[in-house]
Amino acid sequence: MTTASSTRTFDVRHVQIARAVFAALAAVMITFSPDHSASVGLAVFSGFAIATGLVLLLAVWLVYPAGRRWPAVAVGIVTVIAGMAGGVYPLRTVTGFFAIVIAWALLSGLIELIAGWRELAAPAERREIAPGVADARGAVVVGPRSESRDALVVGIITLALGISLLFVQPGYALDYTIEEAHRTFTLTGTTIGVGIFGGYAAIIAVYLAIAGFSPRPAVETDESPARTEQKDSA
């Protein structure tokens, strides 16, 4: 019998790879930008967030089966809204950068953490036999453990971003001099905050790229020996 996964063009690995690409672009832009101001940080975050949010919202219809869509919907909406807020010019201030990025990181990170934790804690009999296939009782099953674990890890890393930014003082400023360059520079709280976001984007890019390109364990189909044996015993 043909499974849902065999007829589906896109799956979770494509979502992970797309998210990794946008995160990598954000990390590269921040790393090689000489300007780590709040306006530049929010501009990069805005593009990253809108692109990531649209990928998640498209995945609601293209990837996730009914019953597994709510995390993508919730994170996608929160991320798109945060990206749009970051694109509003009057909000591109130091306060706006910290408020928008912290709020997004805490909300989206908590949603992904809860979604991953709930699926990992689900009974083994509810674990998905094939993507999009319900169990004999018609209940919606959860996804493979690898996908649940990835959601949990991404949620934890995103929460860590929000919590770390809470400890950065936006008004912090430290002047330092590089004798070789005969110049004096100022390290500000905004520079630290933008740098932390860039580091987060780099970590997420690497993790999701590894997750997206990692081999997936074989899944059983509706006619697998295990299910056939259950049918015979019934």
Express each pLDDT in 197-224 by its tens digit.
999 999 999 999 999 998 866 544 333 3
pLDDT at 230: 43
Looking at the chain, how many residues does it have? Answer: 234
137: left (phi over 0), alpha (psi -120 to 50) or beta: alpha
How far, in Å, CA of 108 to CA of 71, rounded?
A: 9
**pTM reported for the whole predicted model:** 0.82
Closest CA to 158 of 97, 211, 107: 107
- The encoded tokens of residue 85 equal 């807020």
pLDDT at 146: 81
Domain ranges in the chain?
A: 9-233
